[in-house]
Structure 1
Amino acid sequence: MKREWREIARGDTRAQWAGIYVTINSKGTIVLNRAAHERLGSPTAFHLLYDSANNTIGLKPTSSAMRNAYPAHTSGRHGGRKVSAYRLVTECSLHIHETLEFPDAEIDTDGILILNLRTAKISNRALNHPTRKK
């Protein structure tokens, strides 16, 4: 009996823990997974940057001793980090009503994590949260 194998192509989806995963919620908490934090050099704090012309948030790694540094606190059991950026949301008049995920988050040549608010989408986890099922 001859078998007619057909190879199934692997999609362009990234592995959950291997790629950069970053979200921001309505309270301004930015959460990075461990992979993103390690690729940035595992900093203890970040400088928050905002480019209003491009509607982009930037996280620049720094030490917690620097002026205007926002500390990166541990988030969860798997090495993620969170940065409280409520001041960024209020001072830059960002209107974030849901938890947003940045599917195209990238680290530029200067080592700054670029988060484009124009291409951000509502996080699937936020969409499937039990409080939405009303």
Structure 2
Amino acid sequence: MAFEVFKKSSAPVSTVPSVTIQKRGLISLNRAAYELIGSPEAVELLWDSDRRVVGLRATDLANPDAYPARPQSAQSNRGPILVAGSLFTRYIGLDTTEAKRWVPQVEDGILTLDLKVEGQPVSSNRRGTGESARETK
């Protein structure tokens, strides 16, 4: 029998801020990252093309450039916060065929992701009926 290594990246530590850009561009912030920018109702998506840095800045929903920050589950205050980012990721030319996670930094109140640093590939922990961990690699 051959052993497989459990990929730690599949189970992030909830106290470490992380931002995942999922397949097709959905942006997912864990609660630690969301709290770093004040748990806003919406964010602006920012792009510094010279530095290849993505920014998320808290804003009001009334802002015409606002993207709502919504919890994955309306019944819980525990899960990730989701931001629709598919148009944004296409605009910046980011390959989203594979979900990747970054540990963000905060610059002047903006949550930043340095795309020059390769994101950690992540895999879904959701499996269809009858699929094994080996089949979802």
Q: TM-score range by the shorter chain?
A: 0.7 to 0.9
Map of 1:132 onto structure 2:
136
- 2:24 aligned with 1:27: yes
Equivalent residue for 1:54?
Answer: 51
Alignment of 1:13-92 (within 5 A): 16-76=13-73, 77=76, 78-92=78-92
- Alignment RMSD (CA, Å): 2.3
Give the match's secondary structure for 1:97.
coil
Aligned partner of residue 125 in structure 1, secondary structure: coil
- Equivalent-residue separation in structure 1 for 2:21 and 2:79 (angstroms): 17
What is the aligned partner in structure 1 of residue 8 from structure 2?
A: none
Structure 1: which 5+ runs fail to align?
Answer: 1-14
- Offset, 1:37: 1.0
Aligned mates of 1:88, 1:101 — CA distance in 2: 17
Number of residue pairs the alignment of both structures matches = 117
TM-score (norm 1): 0.76
User: Highest CA radius of gyration, 1 or 2?
Assistant: 1
**Residue 23 of structure 1, CA deviation:** 0.5
Q: Is contact 1:98–1:126 with CA below 8 Å preserved after alignment?
A: no
Provide the residue aligned with 1:107 in structure 2.
106
| Alpha carbons of structure 1 residues 120 and 126: separation in structure 2 relative to 1, 3 Å | farther
Question: Whole-Å Cα distance in 1 between the matches of residues 124 and 50 of structure 2?
Answer: 28
- Does structure 2 conserve the Cα–Cα contact (< 8 Å) formed by 1:56 and 1:115? yes
TM-score, length of structure 2 as denominator length: 0.75
Per the TM alignment, residue 124 of structure 1 is displaced from its structure 2 partner at its CA by 3.9
Report runs of 4+ in structure 1 exceeding 6 Å deviation: none
